[in-house]
A and B are shown apart, each in its own frame.
Chain A
Amino acid sequence: MEPGARYGALVADISSQPVLFVTPANYLQVAGAAFEDGFDQLIDLTAVDYLSYPGQRPRPADVVCERFELVVQLINHASRERLGLRVQVPTAEPRVPSLFDLWPGAENLEREVFDMFGIEFVDHPDMSRILMPEDWVGHPLRKDYGVGDIAVQFSLASAPT
């Protein structure tokens, strides 16, 4: 059966791979159905901030585009298939359910997305920063997080005499 009909989600072909477009509301349910179908490994989970993307994104017409898009890739080892999931995450409430209970490998990947984009994963066992220091302010991979804005430490220290 076609993936779109099978999972009840919008489907598109992105670089010769089927991709399902889901909302935060039906994300977990579609992921669960894919898991039951034999997608036994979560291979990658990341996000894109479309804040400064010029023009319209190439997306199926019915998809309501939001600022953040969560990019999930699953793999079915038995049939050697890959399946993409895309979740539109609004700026006002950047919150998505965690995939930890399906694939515990999501733990560090989701922490990285939280660290870099500020997207929160509900029901994640340890929603904390992973690469940046714990007291860091801001989310570096957001498009409005400028490059070169960070003050260099010790730049005013006097040279050794």
Chain B
Amino acid sequence: MTAQRVMRRGADSAVLRLSETEAALIGGDPSDSGDDERVLLNMGPAHPSTHGVLRLMLEMEGETVLRSKPVIGYLHTGMEKQGEQLSYLQGCTNVTRMDYASPLFSELAFSLTTEKLLGIEVPPRATWIRMLMCELNRISSHLLYLATNGMDLGAVSMLIYGWREREEVLRFFEKVTGLRMNHNYIRPTGVAADLHDGWQGDLRDLLALIKPRLEEYDVLMTGQPIWRTRLQGVGALNAAEALALSASGPLLRSTGYAWDLRRDQPYLAYDEVEFDVIVGTFGDCYDRFAIRLNEIRESIKIVEQIIDRMPKGDYRIQDKKVTPPPRARIDESMEALIHHFKIFTQGYQVPKGEAYVPVESPRGELGVYIVSDGTSKPYRMRVRPPSFINLQTLPHLMRGGLIADGVAIISSVDPILGEVDR
């Protein structure tokens, strides 16, 4: 098993290293005899199968893809720069908009990093609520993947089913956080609000709804000969190549490499719950599909354990310098009013230092690196974006395949362009 294929630099590499200017010249040269069959094809940025605004520059020979280049940046809004202008309290509202399919993970990574710099530890209930919400978010994110992956491959009914189940998860989120997406729910110091009364019942209903539906997906897709033929052996990658290309998450696990931060470098309370790390064998599109489908089942297992074992106590740390006081206290206490005012106008100061905390998002390792200069705003805020980095594998997966398989491959890498471009 070798990574030689992805180490190439020259024309035999799968990556098309061509600038816009050079690409424009190729088509416009009338003296070009055109003695080869290769054409340069543009796909996207508004192609329905590119999951946003991904554009691909493809070098084609007939219907076969030779080299390709993902052209990104269409959604770039300078969120890392923006992160330097916002206080730690406001930071979560910024990062939650990066990966819009799994916003709670960005909030979690940002909060854990800030807490590491502050040197505070949140109460157990806050930790378990975070874990619960993140696992539910993993379910909703993978359901979204199943839906769009189905649609890309012509299983259009899967789009409706996946969206339908995801909506049920989002309904629970709305009840807890007030929003379906971009929650700003996990914050440094804990979570924004406690779970509502009767949340256990709501969750049991939700899981009872989703579980049999997963069996239906198996009937609809997993066992279907058309589905299998369409995905098996398409876009294969080996473990050495995935490691060399810095890939993480289901993309790495599909190659048979068992690496999951929840198990291997546990954070929150993942070392106290039982779950399996799902790995594939061939590293192809089918393995990536099967891994995500089964990860939903593992997340359901974790959620069930959390329902039974949710600790009692506070949902946020009671440190008046960093936690806003309850609304009612402001009416009766001068100190509470001052703390409230200081936290929301100035923010709290974070000691000088730097920290990096990674979490296992549905797409791979999502880490936040913050350099603090002792003020209430990060000096530098960097997000390690799993989608951006996983996207590097795309040209290698697509090389030598048909363009129709390219659609399956883009979908199986599952990039979220909001996070790719930031």
16 pairs, CB–CB < 8 Å, chain A vs chain B: A15-B353, A41-B244, A43-B246, A43-B358, A46-B382, A58-B353, A71-B369, A100-B9, A104-B245, A105-B244, A107-B15, A109-B246, A126-B17, A133-B73, A140-B78, A141-B81
Most chain A CB within a 10 A radius of its CB, from B3, B72, B353, B354? B354
B6 to chain A, nearest CB (A): 5
Interface residues of A in 140-156 (CB under 8 A from B): 140-141, 147
A139 to chain B, nearest CB (A): 11
A103 to B240, CA, bound (A): 11
Q: How many of A's residues come within 8 Å of B, CB to CB? A: 41
B246 engages A53 (CB within 8 Å)? no
B243 engages A131 (CB within 8 Å)? no
A100 to B245, CA, bound (A): 10
Q: How many of B's residues come within 8 Å of A, CB to CB? A: 51
Q: Is A23 an interface residue (CB 8 A)?
A: no
Given contacts A15-B356, A147-B81, whether A131 and B384 have CB atoms under 8 Å apart is no
A46 engages B369 (CB within 8 Å)? yes
Most chain A CB within a 10 A radius of its CB, from B21, B257, B384? B384
B384 engages A44 (CB within 8 Å)? yes
B57 to chain A, nearest CB (A): 12
Interface residues of B in 155-184 (CB under 8 A from A): none
Interface residues of A: mostly helix, strand, loop or mixed? loop
Interface residues of A in 119-146 (CB under 8 A from B): 125-126, 128-134, 140-141
A77 to B3, CA, bound (A): 17
Given contacts A105-B244, A105-B246, A105-B389, whether A73 and B373 have CB atoms under 8 Å apart is no
A80 to B259, CA, bound (A): 10
B112 to chain A, nearest CB (A): 11
Q: Is B99 an interface residue (CB 8 A)?
A: no
Given contacts A43-B365, A77-B259, A131-B73, whether A125 and B9 have CB atoms under 8 Å apart is yes
Interface set of B (CB-CB < 8 Å, partner A): 3, 6-7, 9, 13, 15, 17, 19-21, 72-73, 76, 78, 80-81, 85, 116-117, 243-248, 257, 259, 264-265, 352-356, 358, 365, 367, 369, 371, 373-374, 379-380, 382, 384, 388-389, 391-392, 421-422
B202 to chain A, nearest CB (A): 37
Interface residues of A in 44-66 (CB under 8 A from B): 44, 46, 48-49, 53-54, 58
Interchain CB contact (< 8 A) of A40 among B15, B243, B422 = B243
A151 to B67, CA, bound (A): 36
Most chain B CB within a 10 A radius of its CB, from A77, A107, A131? A131
A58 engages B388 (CB within 8 Å)? no
Interchain CB contact (< 8 A) of A126 among B15, B244, B373 = B15
Q: Is A14 an interface residue (CB 8 A)?
A: yes
Given contacts A40-B243, A46-B369, whether A108 and B355 have CB atoms under 8 Å apart is no
